[in-house]
Amino acid sequence: MGKKIFSGVQPTGNLHLGNYLGAIKNFVDLNNDNDNECIFCVVDLHAITVKQDPKILKNNIRETVATFIASGIDPKKGIIFNQSSVAAHAEGAWILSCVARMGWLNRMTQFKEKAGKDKEKASIGLYSYPVLMAADILLYDATHVPVGDDQKQHLELCRDIAQKFNNDFKVDNFLRVPEPLIQNEFSRIMSLKDGSKKMSKSELSDLSRINLTDDRDQIINKIKKAKTDPLPMPQDVKELNHRLEAKNLLVIYSSLTNSTIENSIKTFMGKNFSEFKERLAAELADKIEPISKEIKKLLEDKKYLDEILLDGVEKANLIANKKIERIKEIVGF
């Protein structure tokens, strides 16, 4: 049986290697399997939970579409659309926010991280964003949701919301409880400057991440400057527990070469970091540079990108409108 796949990516500027290895690479494989129905959403409603420049946002939406396509997602095989063009997402989020409990949301670690010390100043949207994410998924009866490890808690919340809705309104299995698809070993790519921090677009230093728009020289330079430790390459997996930067680079190498971490360790055991870094930089540049070039090329054809979105919006509306109408009936509207 094929899977119904739904996932989303925020259009908040440069997508990076973490987004690619943690999520988009998996989208491509799932989309290539003809048995699956895939829906990939550019979650612009999520993006405005923190301040965005309107002009830049519009372009970032296109850039996210370009990144999907440049990474290998065939828009003819699935649906690519932007969230704000399908009103059911906002409507669904409101209704589900009356089902979700404060106590559940208070546990969300990403809100705590993103809001930082001054959570009184965070937007309400940033706090309730996992409910919008639940609406995204549940409107499409998704069976599987491919994400990186940082979204796992939000998916658990989505499952709880679906179950509570079904129980409260006595509609068994009406909202489909989705399964997360998280690639164990490669689900969390860390900063190139600090192996204990997630690679992210919000980190100040550009040297901390490989952007999917970086060119070959930038990629090679960033790997050269990536933090390591003074020891030779690790001998076994146990060593990685206290050598976080070495672990992260080996994770990246293994994911790129479709290898296991154990095998990558065997290949470079006892060698110097410089030799490993050269191989890693070459692999990365070979993989990312063509994507980067293709993103830039696609961005020159705004009309093409807008057409893909329009087509996706039309298809997504058909599915989501049906579901939201049923939800409204069930609630008593």
Which among 68, 70, 71, 1 has a CA at the least distance from the CA of 39?
Answer: 68
Q: Find the shortest distance in angstroms from Cβ 288 to ligand TYM.
A: 15
Tokens of residue 223, six digits: 């790997």
Q: What are the C-alpha distances in Å from 199 to residues 15, 23, 131, 194, 287?
A: 10, 13, 24, 9, 18
Q: Write the CB contacts of 178 (distance below 8 Å, at least 6 apart in sequence).
A: 6, 137, 138, 142, 143, 144, 145, 155, 158, 159, 162
Active site residue 201: yes
Tell me the three state secondary structure of residue 331: helix
Least spacing, CB of residue 303 vs ligand TYM, in Å = 25
Binding residue for ligand TYM, selected from 37, 44, 150, 245, defined by CB under 6 A: 150
Beta bridge partners of 5: 38, 144
CA proximity to 134, closest of 172, 173, 176: 176
Smallest distance from the beta carbon of 227 to ligand TYM, in angstroms?
Answer: 16
User: Cα separation of 155 and 158, whole Å?
Assistant: 5
Query: What does the radius of gyration of the chain's CA atoms come to, in whole angstroms?
Result: 21
Cβ at position 42, least distance to ligand TYM in Å: 9
8 sits near ligand TYM (criterion: CB under 6 A): yes
Is position 112 annotated as part of the catalytic site? no
Tell me whether residue 114 is one of the annotated catalytic residues.
yes
The residue within the footprint of ligand TYM, chosen from 93, 96, 199, 226 (CB under 6 A), is 199
195 forms part of the interface with ligand TYM (CB under 6 A): no
Interface mask (CB under 6 A) for ligand TYM, residues 14-33, using x and -? ----xx--xx----------
Of 73-81, 187-195, 232-240, 269-277, which part binds ligand TYM (CB under 6 A)? 187-195
Per CB under 6 A, 6 contacts ligand TYM:
yes
* Amino acid found at 129: Y
Binding site for ligand TYM (CB under 6 A): 6-10, 18-19, 22-23, 43, 46, 133, 136-137, 145, 147-148, 150-151, 187-189, 198-200
Active site residue ranges: 114, 198, 201
